[in-house]
Chain A
Amino acid sequence: MKTIIIDPVTRIEGHAKITIDLNEDGSVEDARLHVTQYRGFEKFCEGKIYTDMPALTARTCGICPVSHVISSSKACDTLLSVTPPKAAINIRKIVNLAQIIQSHTLNFYHLSSPDFVYGFDAPKEDRNIFKLMQTHPKMAKDGIELRAFGQKIIESLAGKRIHPTGIIPGGVSNILEIEVKEKLLQEIPRAMKIAQNTLKYFKENLHKFQKEIDSFASFSSLFMAIVGEDGSLEHYDGVLRFIDSEGNVLNEAIDPQNYKEFIGEAVEDDSYLKSPYYKPLGYPQGMYRVGALARLNVATKCGTPLADEELKNFKALGRGKPVQNSFYYHYARIIEIIYGLEKIEQLLRDEDTLSENIVARGKINVSRGVGCSEAPRGTLFHDYQVDSNGIIEKVNLIIATGNNNLAMNAGVKQVAKAFIDPANITDGALNRVEAVIRCFDPCLSCSTHALGIVSSQIELRDHHKKIIKIFARN
């Protein structure tokens, strides 16, 4: 049997599929996520001038282009050996947090909320955004409003909602106008109210999902995130920290420029997504998780009052250890939305942000620059090698989602083993296999931001890896 699925091709920029392998007894032996598209950014950026890199690499993604622009610009800052002025750094931080708000909002309200509202076993015709619009229009409206606020900040400060052009090597290209600042500040209380209502809703309904909490990629792993000098939550600048599943700090303060000493990148035959791992433990034992869950596990505090208050509740779930259940990515993302709004307010109120000194100029001073920041889905690395004229000779990108590849695969396997009964495969079980991936909110060049089709298809294979059934998930 052969199934060819052509989805709306004009907009799809990525594909993934899941394979579930059965053993000789007919029970689930293994399950894997395969990213079946090749994009080649690392290769086709070679030969370009470094100043083009922020705009070029932003096109990696339509959801988190800001992260690419920021990591790219930071790599270029290093090439120029310049430190952007404080106003520029503040503006970059605001824009980065705005993107985290809009991206996390998209995941919660538009992609994952049907599962929360109707349950994982609800008929699939009900488990979608259309039904949600009809039964919970306020929730749908809140999602639109909160996301629009994030987009508005990006547009106001960086020029465009998607693929912004205002963040450049050495700083930013536009000052923050006082009128813009006041307008944005006025809208924060409303956005915060929505975020807090979201948190309340999520916590009130959490008890319904104990089985999913226990089985959705709930296992021991390392965690990696950027933290500030004092160990606080940080998304723009800082040092890399690895902790183990007990909460022990393995590496407290890795300079992102030296990431290659600690992160290896394995390549599997059946996926174009690389599998980064923690080098000292080797592959695949060095599996680690990144993203909102990892950031809150690694950080000792958020540094803003409301987020810190909720962080205590979050950390209590781990009973003194890191929270291992990937279902809580959803919880962590909501806390980060609250943090983002608080932090944006702080940064907007900082008088230095209004300064007209927004860019540091320079020429190529070093031949290699690494830019690292926290994207919505995790730590993002841009590593450029240039010649003396600033022409790109080599590029290495570790995309946030890629860091989670090993963990996503382990999660898919865990859920398949827990929920898939090969003799009676239900839609609810298949939905859970996809939903575990949605916990990580992967961005396989954006295409997996799809409700109900995290994968285009799920293949069931026998112990000879022969396909015995294909479930088209759209």
Chain B
Amino acid sequence: MKVIIGYGNELRGEDGFGVEVIRKLQFLIPKDIKLISAFCLTPELILEMLDADEIIFVDACYDEENHYALACSILKNGSNLSHHIQPQILMALMRDVYEKKVDYSIYSMLTCNFEMIEDTQKYYKCIDKVTSFLIV
């Protein structure tokens, strides 16, 4: 089963990208794909992912120079555990604690605006593009 997790804070402008993608996907995607939207990634999300054979994370990613560019598998710096942990930590938890290795990828929209949606047209175009890509 495929699990798609979109996460972010919708009150923080373009940070809500992942959640918006999930909202759109829920009307388009087959029922055997599990969709999860979250404010942030938390350790217990693993329990929702244990039956997955592929996991896709959708997120907004900080980048000052390539606003609205779309990227796959952007790895962010750092490896800190907090309530807003990174996909890599969740996957490491799955591997080490639950002995389950699953393929995963991260789809990101690059943005530097976490206060507002700067260009509504471009922002929703990004959502459409990622959504279209994921339903194929």
Contact = CB atoms under 8 A, between A and B. Distances in A.
Q: Do A and B bind each other?
A: yes
Interface in B47-90: 47, 59-62, 76-84, 86, 89
Given A10-B114, A449-B83, A62 B93 contact: no
B84 A130 contact: no
A106 B42 CA distance: 10
A161 B8 CA distance: 14
B46 interface: yes
Q: Which of B11, B81, B114 has the most CB of A within 10 A?
A: B81
A140 B97 contact: yes
Contacts of B86: 8, 11
Given A11-B40, A59-B9, A144-B44, A134 B96 contact: yes
Interface string A135-159: 0010011011101100100000000
B39 A9 contact: no
A427 to B, nearest CB: 16
Interface residues of B, number: 33
A446 interface: yes
A151 B76 contact: no
A402 to B, nearest CB: 19
Contacts of B9: 13, 59, 62
A8 B47 contact: no
A128 B92 CA distance: 13
B96 A130 contact: yes
Given A9-B114, A133-B92, A144-B47, A453 B39 contact: no
Given A9-B114, A10-B59, A162-B40, A144 B97 contact: yes
Contacts of B46: 144
B59 to A, nearest CB: 7
Given A8-B62, A134-B96, A110 B76 contact: no
Contacts, number: 99
A12 to B, nearest CB: 8
Nearest to A102: B44
A133 B114 contact: no
A451 B82 contact: yes
A169 interface: no
Given A10-B15, A59-B9, A110-B43, A450 B62 contact: no
Contacts of A128: 79, 81
Contact of B39 (A163, A450, A452): A163
A134 B93 CA distance: 9
A63 interface: yes
A117 to B, nearest CB: 14
A452 B43 contact: no
Contacts of B97: 133, 137, 140-141, 144
Contacts of B114: 9-10
Contacts of B8: 10
Contacts of B79: 128, 130
Contact of A147 (B11, B38, B44, B82): B44
A173 B10 CA distance: 23
Interface in B79-136: 79-84, 86, 89, 92-93, 96-98, 114
Given A8-B77, A11-B40, 20 more contacts: A8-B62, A10-B60, A10-B61, A11-B84, A62-B39, A62-B83, A63-B83, A106-B83, A128-B81, A133-B92, A140-B93, A143-B43, A144-B46, A144-B97, A147-B44, A148-B44, A151-B42, A162-B39, A451-B80, A474-B78
Interface of A: 6-13, 59, 62-63, 106, 110-111, 128-130, 133-134, 137, 140-141, 143-145, 147-148, 151, 161-163, 446-447, 449-453, 474
25 contacts: A6-B62, A8-B76, A8-B86, A10-B8, A11-B40, A12-B84, A13-B9, A62-B9, A63-B83, A106-B43, A111-B81, A130-B96, A133-B92, A133-B93, A133-B97, A134-B96, A137-B97, A143-B43, A144-B97, A147-B44, A162-B40, A450-B80, A451-B80, A451-B82, A474-B80
Interface of B: 8-9, 11, 15, 38-40, 42-44, 46-47, 59-62, 76-84, 86, 89, 92-93, 96-98, 114
